[in-house]
Chains A and B, each alone.
Chain A
Amino acid sequence: DQQVKQNSPSLSVQEGRISILNCDYTNSMFDYFLWYKKYPAEGPTFLISISSIKDKNEDGRFTVFLNKSAKHLSLHIVPSQPGDSAVYFCAASVNNAGNMLTFGGGTRLMVKP
């Protein structure tokens, strides 16, 4: 049973436009959510996180939105840049911990110049 799902395996966006990456989860015990970014042949790097006590967290061009009732979160990138092209993983954990993570399958974002 996949507890964290990223239903879009890929997304293509024009440079300067908004990228919206979606993530759904099924485990209501999850209370901390993270997004990681991964370039080919490299390890994932932490991008942004959100605790379940919030519904929005913003860091520069990146904003994560959490809808607990829908068990859904999204990552918005505005404006999108070609360097944002990567695979984005959504992850979730319990007890507000950032380490024991359950990952989604990833979404490959392609930002076209």
Chain B
Amino acid sequence: NAGVTQTPKFQVLKTGQSMTLQCAQDMNHEYMSWYRQDPGMGLRLIHYSVGAGITDQGEVPNGYNVSRSTTEDFPLRLLSAAPSQTSVYFCASYNGAKNIQYFGAGTRLSVL
């Protein structure tokens, strides 16, 4: 997980609250992405970015917003948290030369 830093590691929210999950990478990778992991579902792509100023939707984007103002940072925002968003969230950064994605340690979110 070297090079991809996620904060916080744990978070509990009440329904309707908003929050931002932070992700930063120091490898100068252009491509970054956010996944959620639920039991029995594997990892599913929420949003991704191919570079600063460019973002796009993944498989499960509803309820989440992203922005990419710098190459290093790719925050994920929950505007109005719902219990269905209880999950473990992973940020990933892509090494184009090796065609490999590297993951952060994850943020465990519970929405009550």
Partners in one complex: no
